[in-house]
Structure 1
């Protein structure tokens, strides 16, 4: 399965996308089970949910108003639609553009700055009136913008230079905080915050995203259980890598039966749980992840060790990007930050937010 590293690195604004740097190879280079039909499995009832309390700059998901984009030509430079996360984002934007009645000019940058530059030039030739930009080469952002038309631009998950009108993406510290608080609350309720170790599965190369997200985890956990004790920080974010790394961690904790595990993505959680199962110690872990990927839904629903997970809803990015872009094209002022309304997913609500096949 292709790893969700894409979700991590694109949010970090990492320039080099190792195909994909933001979703780089996991499990022997295969891809995560994020199905291309995931948008159809999302519960439409969640579309009007208000942002979680405490998440500043979050906006609500909203379906585009039918006909609101009639006569408009809008563009999308996508990251790389061979990557599940990017494909989900693109499909959601296409759906909302069609709903709005706007003509969408689509261009896949395939993780390449030169291709993104060509996309922007094409937008100028075609008379695109505004566009969403999910290209990965942050250092070339100003050049790419300069090659395109002088129109409203909404950046997706990666800053797009001086020409961007708004930034749309994740609130990493808050997303981490949600999952960390869920872990702390569980440990408080069931063990009075007694545990043997806190293992943080991270990706240091993701820079700011790693710092914000994993720092948010610890703050959330500490808000319930006090200062983290016996902290182990591991560089492990792919399934195969996390499985190997966590197997080693378990050998250093032979008598531990309450190990708290926080991870920058769901791949790391899946790897840690796989290692624990092989060692016959799956009940020694209490975990929470990031992404609420389709591959994790059934485990969240049925595995009591999977305490919670923060949802990012890539399949619904279009419900933010398209309506706000149309407003900007019409000359309306839109927020500088359009952050995703993250939500904690657990066994109690995964079936109502999504529709797991299990």
Structure 2
């Protein structure tokens, strides 16, 4: 969803001043160049724990390979203009590779094309562009499959009842949101009692659930785009004394999310592995700088169903395993 973002100067200024900076360098601080491979990373936000984990893994892998990481981010989930400005900034800084998690799968295509036309390797992490070949390669969870896994578990957990679901989506225009939703619907085959965009934020998800519950009186299940949305749904359901009567499914696999499964707030979460995405992206960038070799196509990272209430026929891990492996 296109929104008018800050100017490039404002983006850089805020990045330098904000707590939890949106710009992170790994290696030397010598902006004039010290022979290190410069890798750019553009995430959706700099505050979402998922993207913090991805950024920290990229930084660690860059350090390990003697490369320099420059990390920028949108100001909020959906800040397409901020990501466009960040890509342009990184090209000007001389980044040889840019790793990007697109807020909008079509909104940054122009900036990506300009970067690639200048010889920059561009790899999408976590979220596909549309079309997928707008970037050199994509490293991500199979989000349709993650949605299917959530839906498969939720449907089975209802013990033969048809799924009557509230569906809490992410950001409009995001392939992640669209694919996870489609996978859940395909697998759970729910009666849709209401669908709302939440941008994957807990407060928005709580408000959306509260609104939907005014008419969704027969709800027995909730699909959520991610664990913050699942927590928002849980709070709203608990306030209505419905939490024990509704199966909440989610996707992410953060330590907080796994803990919510352990505590019985969420029935199941499908873990993904952002650290592996980041590490592979940096490795591809370093190889490109050395040999000019480019990756291509879709590189799928793993998923794992995490629950303490296993169901026959569904391969799953318990929360003890989940807490040891959260986000890879």
| TM-score, shorter chain, exceeding 0.5 | yes
1:297 is matched with which residue?
Answer: 258
Change (3 A) 1:354 1:166: same
CA deviations on 1:231-280 (whole Å, 9 max, x unpaired) are 212214232333233234444355x4x70111122222212211121122
**Structure 1 position 103 matched with structure 2 position 56:** no
The higher relative CO (CA closer than 8 Å, separation ≥ 6) is in: 1
Where does the alignment leave 5 or more consecutive residues of structure 1 unmatched?
Answer: 1-13, 20-70, 223-227
Cα distance, 1:178–1:89 mapped onto 2, change above 3 Å: same
Alignment partner of 1:235 is 2:205: no
- Report the counterpart of residue 129 of structure 2 in structure 1: 159
1:266 matched residue in structure 2: 227
Indicate yes or no: 2:179 matched with 1:212.
Answer: yes
Contact 2:151 2:187 (8 Å CA) reproduced: yes
Shift of 1:207: 5.1
Supply the distance in 1 between the matched residues of 2:256 and 2:267 (Cα, whole angstroms): 16
Shift in Å, 1:138: 0.8
CA distance in 2 between counterparts of 1:160 and 1:132 reads 16
CA drift of 1:286 comes to 0.7
Separation in structure 1 between the aligned mates of residue 180 and residue 276 of structure 2, nearest angstrom: 21
Q: 1:317 is paired with a residue of what secondary structure?
A: helix
* Change in CA separation of 1:165 and 1:281 when aligned onto 2, cut-off 3 Å: closer
3-state DSSP class of the match of 1:206? coil
CA offset at residue 131 of structure 1? 4.1
Equivalent position of 2:58 in the other structure = 93
- Give, in whole Å, the separation in 2 of the partners of 1:276 and 1:106: 41
Distance 2:210 2:41 in 1: 40
For structure 2, list consecutive stretches of 5 or more residues without a partner in the other structure: 7-34, 75-81, 309-316
- Please say if 1:75 is aligned against 2:39: yes
The yes-or-no answer on 1:113 pairing with 2:76 is no
Q: Which residue of 1 aligns with 2:19?
A: none
> Which residue of 2 is the match for residue 316 of structure 1?
276
1:321–1:186 CA distance, 2 compared to 1 (3 A): same
**CA offset at residue 350 of structure 1?**
2.5
User: What's the RMSD between the two structures over aligned residues?
Assistant: 3.3
Please state whether the residue corresponding to 1:205 is helix, strand or coil. Answer: coil
After TM superposition, the structure 1 stretch with the greater mean CA deviation from structure 2, 292-301 or 156-165, is: 156-165
Residues 24-61 of structure 1, C-alpha deviations (whole Å, 9 max, x = no match): xxxxxxxxxxxxxxxxxxxxxxxxxxxxxxxxxxxxxx
Number of equivalenced pairs: 274
Structure 1 CA distance for aligned equivalents of residues 49 and 293 of structure 2? 33
Residue 171 of structure 1, CA deviation: 2.1
Are residue 246 (structure 1) and residue 209 (structure 2) matched? Answer: yes
The aligned counterpart of 1:84 is 49
Paired residues of 1:202 and 1:235 also in contact (CA < 8 A): yes
Give secondary structure in 1 for the equivalent of 2:172.
Answer: helix
